Structure 1
Amino acid sequence: MFNSLTKARRPIVVTLAVGALVAASVLPAGAQPASGPAAQGVASSSAVQGTPVPLGPDGSVPTATYSAGKYVVVLAKAPVASYAGGTDNIPATKPKSGRKVEVTSAAARRYASVLTADQNKIASSVGASQKQKYTVSLNGFSATLTSAQATRLARTPGVLAVAKDTLRHTTDDKVDYDFLKLAGTSGVWAGLGGAKTAGKGVVVGVIDTGIYPQSASFAGRKLGNSPSATDPYLAYRSGSQVVMQKVNGGTFTGVCETGDGFTASDCNTKLISARYFGDSFIASAGSNLQDFISPLDGEGHGTHTASTAAGDNGVQASIDNVDFGKISGVAPAASIAVYKALWTSSIASQSGGTTSDIVAAIDQAVADGVDVINYSVGSSSESLPVDPIQLAFLSAASAGIFVSASAGNSGPGASTMDNTSPWVTTVAASTLKPYEGTVVLGNGSRYAGVSTTVVKSVGPQPFVTATSVKLAAAAATDAARCTPGTLDPTLVAGKIVECDRGVVDRVAKSAEVKRAGGVGMVLVNLAPSDTDADLHTVPTVHLDSDVGLLAKAYAATAGATATLVPGNTSPVTTPYPQVAGFSSRGPSLSSNGDILKPDIAAPGVGILASISPTLDGGRNFDFLSGTSMAAPHIAGLAALYVQKHPTWSPMEIKSALMTTAVDTKNADGSTNTDPFAQGAGEVHPSAMFNPALVYDAGAQDWLSYLEGLGYDTGTGVPAVAASEYNQASIASGALVSTLTVTRKVTAVKAGLYSAKASVPGFKVTVTPSILSMNAVGQVKSFKVTMTRTTAPVGRYATGFLTWSGANTSVRSPIALEPVALHSFADTVDITGTAGSVSWKVRSGINGAFPITGYGLTAGHQAASSVTATTTRQFPVTVAAGTKFARFATKVASDNGLQDIDLTVYSISGGIATPVGTSATSLSDETVDLKAPAAGSYLAVVSGYQDAAGTTSTPFSFRDFEVGANPNVGTFTVTPANASTTGGQTLPVKATATGLDAGTAYLGWVQYVDGSGTVVQGNPTK
């Protein structure tokens, strides 16, 4: 598709986007009451559960078979609350509208006695002894029945139902599928035929660390050798391949690759394909490889993400003898195809996957025919949209595949994301209702924190700081963190120990407390941070710094005691969902802030899912946190969407998820509307199938987007500004006075839609403000004009655009950063010994608009050479007053085959901090620093590729410090002082004289906001 990409960056090594998982709890288990009466005189357990019962060959309802146990027997007569009269001349007891039933009235007492008599008669007819009787909201009784008694009662006239007395659990927002309202009679799954069919006919491809096929989350039937006569979407073997017909009419064709610990029989009708891609990683890891050379998951990450996206429903999760209830994937009936491209090394920092292996995995997934890809992986920095992995995802999206990718775990700092290409759905991590425990102090204070290990009360016991019970030889700082081997068993035994977070693995801290004989741990953040649902070896509560430091201070007092109790018994309720602190934030730098990212938030903290026991202490389930856990939630929801709307494009699905999202919360319970944290908001599955309008895009839009960023795709498509890209959000990273963008929407529902848009400090106008969509599928365009009024320059303003129709709304976030100006030229050239150059600047402010020229300076130059395996280092001193610095390399003879890289470090106190890197596929590299701090710098030139037939690449290194180094000749800029109004375009002219024709120079023209234009004198020299 791409003939050339002139700005393309070379492939980089990718590592796991590790971070938060989410804790899961249990969904309501067992049968649900039937919503309507069974056939007259017939009752069955299936009817009670609300499950359709097929008729027998003779057209009758089959007789249910009942096991012995406790039952609730429901009789056909109406209970008191709904009795409308007609029995033994007893008046109606059903209350009138707005009134409540009067159970003590004479009529109610008489009618209840009738019901009780019927219950006694029916129970005695089978010799059953009643335990509880119900007459008000239900007419029935409970009883322990034999199989024969239950069967006879089910056939008894007047009996509506015989239901097993089943253990139920309240809906629990600690469980992702409860929180997302997937389960239950009115949940998303119910609308797709129930959990057994939700996602049926859809294939979710998981690019990760592999899979543990023995996990209960991936149970399925043995693959047959021909298509199923009863299930058209059931996978089967065809020779060495696995084939599955898909709900969208396509065909998936996969392979179950064999290798270490993995056989062809490990695939089934759930796990329909498993491949691995590691040629590059395995070769580079050598003896450090700590993994299985097969699809088998040696790390656990891939098993967790796969089971979160599409694991089986109703899998019982028990960890360390603690029952956490049942778990489920978001699309429990979807099929899973695994592409292992992430690997584990004995050197933790080297674990991950290489670009080449990951691209091979994506390529295969597209070829196989997956419908959705989950990619819980990221780079150490934001990947350019022309990174090979991002381009592979462009092709996947062009093939109709929805790609869900993690935003990264480098938050809460700004611009810390990866996977920001517009054809990818970038997912932030949010919280569920947390698993909590409370630290009850001896002074009466109660502090709640995250805990999965306080299942019963511990204490009261002596409460001590780790430093007060350390071994004599242990350093206080090490002991404070409960570093292994630092606590004294004679002092710790029987105590609850406060341990500081930091440096040491969190679970290793509780292990040290246990080793020393402690009975509990309070883990304290010393600064505001996340709290984690770790599975500790002693009961542990993890407190954030606001309350943790108070607990720590109390532990240091004489006679301190503490009790750890399950749940949150403190006076403070923890709001949810919140965007996790670790979740990476926008704005996206690769689009210059003109594409709003992330797109959406989903549960990603304390997620309970299946895990590979091979390297996780033998556990089959675990709580993990990270955007790695958020992405598979969106992947699973996309799979449900593919099932519901097989012909929808990936961007239509993405739009539907975004425009129906809801806001998250801040730590104080207030509403969070920050689009750089939550994107469009928290995904809201209950509304996602009702988007009304969708914003669509495809391959031509993506190519135009790349052209608009300055990349030559070689396809001839027109360039389009990133802010014009048609997605369900609007952004501008440098808005000068006014911006108008165009969007197109497709009608999912016909009707009238009215626009409302608001951004503080901006006047926002939508034209037309009313859309009349006369038919489903109709497409209409509109323009949004945003004009700055009072919004502060240099600070983002955010808001929303909402289209409202009958009982529906379509909401899109807006993020705008007003700037003082826009220069139409980042760099201008003056050639020869004298000359001038002109360009234009557009002002975004009213008032003074000073323009100052600095330079020109000749800088410094040094000749050197480098091979593909060597480096050269150049120390540079940046003087005070430097306005602009450039570090650059220029190859002596460039035939397009050489390739060198450049990294610039700031040196202070013996520490080298990288401040800029240039690693393009070109032979010349440049790092520019605006207003750099004075001090010592080191420029490191690294060889990457030599030209064929050569042993080294000669080059010159140049550094320019404009504003501090002596100027050469004269350099003037006009106008030097101007006054502008917002939106005014101003001509600027720079003139230089007295230059040496054989020397390269650099100048800097600085504007009112500190930005500027680079002036190159004799740029080719």
Structure 2
Amino acid sequence: MASSHNTLLGLFICFVLAHITNFTYAKVYVVYMGGNDSDNTNEILMKSHQMLVSVHSGSVEDAHASLLYSYKHGFRGFAAILTDDQALQISKMPEVVSVFENKRRNLHTTHSWDFIGLVGEATMEIPGYSTKDQVNVIIGFIDTGIWPESASFSDTDMPPVPAGWKGKCQSGEAFNITHCNRKLIGARYYLSGYEAEKQDNLEYIDDPKNERSYRSARDSNGHGTHTASTAAGRYVMDMNYKGLAQGGARGGAPMARVAVYKTCWDLGCYDADILAAFDDAVRDGVQIISLSLGPDAPQGDYFSDAISIGSFHAVNRGIPVVASVGNQGTIGSATNLAPWIITVAATSIDREFTANLNMGNGVNLKGESLSVLQMRAPARIISASIANGGYFTPYQSSYCLESSLNYTKTRGKVLLCRHAERSSESKVAKSQIVKAAGGVGMILVDEDVDVAIPFVIPAAIVGRKVGKRIVSYINNTRKPTAQIYSSEAVIGSQHAPRVASFSSKGPNSLNPEILKPDVAAPGLNILAAWSPAIGQKMMYNIMSGTSMACPHVTGIVALIKSVHPSWSPAAIKSAIMTTASIFDKSGKPMRVDPEGRRGNPFDYGSGFVDPTAALEPGLIYDMTPTNYKAFLCSTGYDDKSLHLITRDNSTCETQTLSTPSNLNYPSIVVPDLKLNFSVIRTLTFIGKPQKRAIYRAVVSPPHGVQVDIVPKRLVFDSYGQKKNFIVTFKSSLPSQGYVFGYLQWKNGKSGVITPLVIRTAPSDVGSGT
């Protein structure tokens, strides 16, 4: 009996070891097979299985075990657990466009609508336009899920769900079908790509002590709830953040429908899950897709990136995709670079959260803070560098690192701490460290002074100039003291909008001929709905990031769709870009934090959004899927790869785009101007019917560049009429960096504006067109 038992045990161990060996060094790969040219989803699924069986030595069982997702609605492909060798084998198969690792994407983490110019409550009507059809607009949010009980997602007085909606309300932990309503009409969640990537992730989710995690569409992070309510939240009265920013809250399109696709978990969002969400969203029938997330810079090829792939097929089906540009804040760090995506930068609004800082010498200073705590009396202020403890040097302790502070030296004092430029260190954590060391307050010197932080003790952020004043006071005073007061919201106290310091910037690292970001919108200190699953059980919270800017543009897209349902994604994008402003509310050129320099298109794209003007631009730079195919050919894609991506009969021979600069984009970038260079654009008239509309070209040329427009006058006789024009650039100065100008097509007081971005190069090569 024992012998038999041992034999069975040995066979079982061999079986387990064989399977372990099969998946040794395996990881998740996404296999992208281009567009979907078949309605037969079973055929697509069967093809995926056949490919997997072939690389698993004919084992159907192993092939089935390795498959995570099959993409079969918006595009073709699958995600599976593969070894590097298996992934290489599949990449060589004739039907495959690309095979790439399941990379992680990061979250790009409201008085703002008043500031933009949409003043209203329940329906956000715009004078002169009816936006009541926003009830038929469905926005899909790919994010961290949603808190369905939030008042921002109430369906009071909303009509039935639009006919033709194919989405579903997926049940899961603490979430069931009853949590959806006529406002929140769909909810799905995706976990396979995340779980398969790291066992640690799985253990974290399954940990019963982790009360913030839900295996469902319920939001355990807050980010998804915040973005959805910013774009489409209902009007909520008497809302605030711990008593700050008291007032009503609403999204840009408060009567639009919301469908959520939860792909993001505490440790990130993975490509395999993101593509599954895109696939379902296209099939479900969403009309807009919004993603406040993206890759780290530098971004990889378009068709090795889940967001670029998913958005390509969504836009080709008439679904606009809006995404955030990223929060790295440096030159060339922009992401979500595909020309078919509307990519959004972040700005301030005219509200700031300030805390008064009273120094013992009678000098009153201001810092940025969300802390509602305040000191009852002045206390001694010291530099954190002299409170060093343990093995930490004074320099290390100046940053208030964990365990770096001596309790005896810190107790009862206000600490002046530093924050490393563009550091990922938590500023909230620094206040926790100071508190744990006995400190009663903190002043944090940081270049990123525009972001308000909810510190756990009386605390505030100041810039370097103010920081130097405080250091001088400390060094030249025998017993320096400071008192920090609670934060208060101040409106109209500064020039706004300003580009936020964290907002990622161009030029485009993949194709510099395409300007990124496209536009800018409020993303600094934005108050919106939140998940009370996080500590303090708040229903509303203030957040900053390009994540917050993205849904502002999403809301505007929804309003445009409600007024112009037949407009293409490119038409909507053009309307938003060409009506944006490069000036702040005082009429001065927009500035960029933290240094306050004058901004340029690499900071804000075409400028700060104007939703009312975007509803009637008069002219648009329109595009169809054919234009994007031509763009791909101009960047090096051949007939074979183009066919695999599109699954139609397109060839590069039929595409006439000689250079990416000739894509009919609402901005013009020439990154390598030698002597002279010409680009062509096409404008479509979509103004109000009249006998004729005459537009004249007005140019503000980039420094050292001559700009010629042919023709200089465009006459339109009917709605939908198209006119071409050619822009020729001639360099009159030696090689220089990027320079900026503008082209405006003007009709009386109105017109559309196109940024001109030029970089001249040595003229040792002849002219080009």
Confirm or deny that 1:180 pairs with 2:119: no
Q: Choose the corresponding residue for 2:258, options 325, 336, 340.
A: 336
Whole-angstrom distance in 1 between the partners of 2:94 and 2:667: 27
Q: Choose the corresponding residue for 2:496, options 572, 576, 581.
A: 576
Q: What is residue 658 of structure 1 aligned with on the other side?
A: 577
Residues 615/186 of structure 1: CA separation in 2 closer, same or farther (3 Å cut): closer
TM alignment of 1:407-446, pairs within 5 A = 407-413=325-331, 415-433=332-350, 434-446=352-364
Q: Deviations over 1:398-451 (max 9, x none)?
A: 1111110111112222x2121111111011111123222232323344433322
Give, in angstroms, the shift of residue 747 of structure 1: 1.1
Determine helix, strand or coil for the equivalent of 1:200.
Answer: helix
Residues 751/453 of structure 1: CA separation in 2 closer, same or farther (3 Å cut): same
Confirm or deny that 1:753 pairs with 2:695: yes
Q: Deviations over 1:270-327 (max 9, x none)?
A: 1110011222212223342334221122222212211111112225434446564332
Whole-angstrom distance in 2 between the partners of 1:320 and 1:426: 32
8 Å contact kept, 2:371–2:454: yes
Give, in angstroms, the shift of residue 808 of structure 1: 0.3
Aligned residues: 639
- TM-score, scaled to structure 1: 0.59
Determine helix, strand or coil for the equivalent of 2:695.
Answer: strand
Q: What is residue 465 of structure 2 aligned with on the other side?
A: 546
8 Å contact kept, 1:205–1:336: yes
Confirm or deny that 1:812 pairs with 2:754: yes
8 Å contact kept, 1:448–1:568: no
Determine helix, strand or coil for the equivalent of 1:647.
Answer: coil
* More helix as a share of residues: 2
Q: What is residue 305 of structure 1 aligned with on the other side?
A: 227
TM alignment of 1:896-911, pairs within 5 A = none
Determine helix, strand or coil for the equivalent of 2:199.
Answer: helix
Q: Choose the corresponding residue for 2:739, options 793, 797, 801.
A: 797
Confirm or deny that 1:212 pairs with 2:301: no
Amino acid at match of 1:809: G
Q: What is residue 506 of structure 2 aligned with on the other side?
A: 586
Confirm or deny that 1:262 pairs with 2:199: no
- TM-score, scaled to structure 2: 0.77
Q: Deviations over 1:109-132 (max 9, x none)?
A: xxxxxxxxxxxxxxxxxxxxxxxx
Give, in angstroms, the shift of residue 363 of structure 1: 1.2
Q: Deviations over 1:780-802 (max 9, x none)?
A: 11111111112x41411110010
Confirm or deny that 1:480 pairs with 2:398: yes
Whole-angstrom distance in 1 between the partners of 2:630 and 2:319: 20
Give, in angstroms, the shift of residue 523 of structure 1: 1.1
5+ residue gaps, structure 2: 1-33, 38-92, 206-212, 583-589, 644-649
Whole-angstrom distance in 1 between the partners of 2:120 and 2:373: 27
Q: What is residue 430 of structure 2 aligned with on the other side?
A: 509
Give, in angstroms, the shift of residue 391 of structure 1: 2.6
Residues 8/416 of structure 1: CA separation in 2 closer, same or farther (3 Å cut): farther
8 Å contact kept, 2:151–2:236: no
Q: Choose the corresponding residue for 1:364, options 277, 280, 290.
A: 280
Determine helix, strand or coil for the equivalent of 1:423.
Answer: coil
Q: Deviations over 1:629-659 (max 9, x none)?
A: 1111111110111111111111111111111
8 Å contact kept, 1:579–1:665: yes
5+ residue gaps, structure 1: 25-174, 222-229, 236-243, 246-250, 345-350, 822-842, 845-981, 986-1021
Whole-angstrom distance in 2 between the partners of 1:625 and 1:456: 23
Q: What is residue 99 of structure 2 aligned with on the other side?
A: 10
Q: Choose the corresponding residue for 1:400, options 302, 314, 318.
A: 318
Q: What is residue 382 of structure 2 aligned with on the other side?
A: 464
Greater shift, 390-399 or 463-472, is seen at 463-472
Q: Deviations over 1:680-731 (max 9, x none)?
A: 0111223222311111001000011001111120221415221010011101
Which structure: larger Rg?
A: 1
Query: Percent identity at matched positions?
Result: 33
Residues 200/819 of structure 1: CA separation in 2 closer, same or farther (3 Å cut): same
Q: What is residue 448 of structure 1 aligned with on the other side?
A: 366
Q: What is residue 559 of structure 2 aligned with on the other side?
A: 640
Determine helix, strand or coil for the equivalent of 2:499.
Answer: coil
Q: Deviations over 1:931-977 (max 9, x none)?
A: xxxxxxxxxxxxxxxxxxxxxxxxxxxxxxxxxxxxxxxxxxxxxxx
Residues 707/668 of structure 1: CA separation in 2 closer, same or farther (3 Å cut): closer
Give, in angstroms, the shift of residue 563 of structure 1: 3.2
Whole-angstrom distance in 1 between the partners of 2:240 and 2:402: 27
Whole-angstrom distance in 1 between the partners of 2:219 and 2:757: 40
Residues 458/732 of structure 1: CA separation in 2 closer, same or farther (3 Å cut): farther
Residues 187/733 of structure 1: CA separation in 2 closer, same or farther (3 Å cut): farther
Residues 445/668 of structure 1: CA separation in 2 closer, same or farther (3 Å cut): farther
Determine helix, strand or coil for the equivalent of 1:210.
Answer: coil
Q: What is residue 280 of structure 1 aligned with on the other side?
A: 193
Give, in angstroms, the shift of residue 263 of structure 1: 1.0
TM alignment of 1:239-258, pairs within 5 A = 244-245=162-163, 251-258=164-171
8 Å contact kept, 2:676–2:768: no
- Higher relative CO (Cα under 8 Å, sequence separation at least 6) belongs to 2
Whole-angstrom distance in 1 between the partners of 2:762 and 2:728: 18
8 Å contact kept, 1:430–1:602: yes
8 Å contact kept, 1:801–1:811: yes
Amino acid at match of 1:259: G
Q: What is residue 300 of structure 2 aligned with on the other side?
A: 383
Q: Deviations over 1:860-907 (max 9, x none)?
A: xxxxxxxxxxxxxxxxxxxxxxxxxxxxxxxxxxxxxxxxxxxxxxxx
Whole-angstrom distance in 2 between the partners of 1:340 and 1:445: 50
TM alignment of 1:593-992, pairs within 5 A = 593-663=512-582, 664-666=590-592, 672-712=598-638, 713-714=642-643, 715-716=650-651, 717-718=654-655, 720=657, 721-749=659-687, 751-757=693-699, 758-790=701-733, 792-820=734-762, 843-844=764-765, 983=767
Residues 458/699 of structure 1: CA separation in 2 closer, same or farther (3 Å cut): farther
Determine helix, strand or coil for the equivalent of 1:576.
Answer: coil
Whole-angstrom distance in 2 between the partners of 1:796 and 1:546: 30
Determine helix, strand or coil for the equivalent of 2:451.
Answer: coil
Q: What is residue 80 of structure 2 aligned with on the other side?
A: none
Amino acid at match of 2:430: K
Determine helix, strand or coil for the equivalent of 1:10.
Answer: strand
Q: Choose the corresponding residue for 1:373, options 289, 300, 307.
A: 289
Give, in angstroms, the shift of residue 777 of structure 1: 1.7
Residues 520/722 of structure 1: CA separation in 2 closer, same or farther (3 Å cut): same
Determine helix, strand or coil for the equivalent of 2:572.
Answer: helix
Whole-angstrom distance in 1 between the partners of 2:322 and 2:497: 20
Amino acid at match of 1:213: P
Determine helix, strand or coil for the equivalent of 2:197.
Answer: helix
Determine helix, strand or coil for the equivalent of 1:199.
Answer: helix
Q: What is residue 43 of structure 2 aligned with on the other side?
A: none
8 Å contact kept, 2:342–2:573: yes
Q: What is residue 202 of structure 1 aligned with on the other side?
A: 137
Amino acid at match of 1:694: I
Residues 288/359 of structure 1: CA separation in 2 closer, same or farther (3 Å cut): closer
* More strand as a share of residues: 1
8 Å contact kept, 2:501–2:592: no
Amino acid at match of 1:597: K
Whole-angstrom distance in 2 between the partners of 1:540 and 1:312: 33
Residues 490/184 of structure 1: CA separation in 2 closer, same or farther (3 Å cut): same
Confirm or deny that 1:559 pairs with 2:479: yes
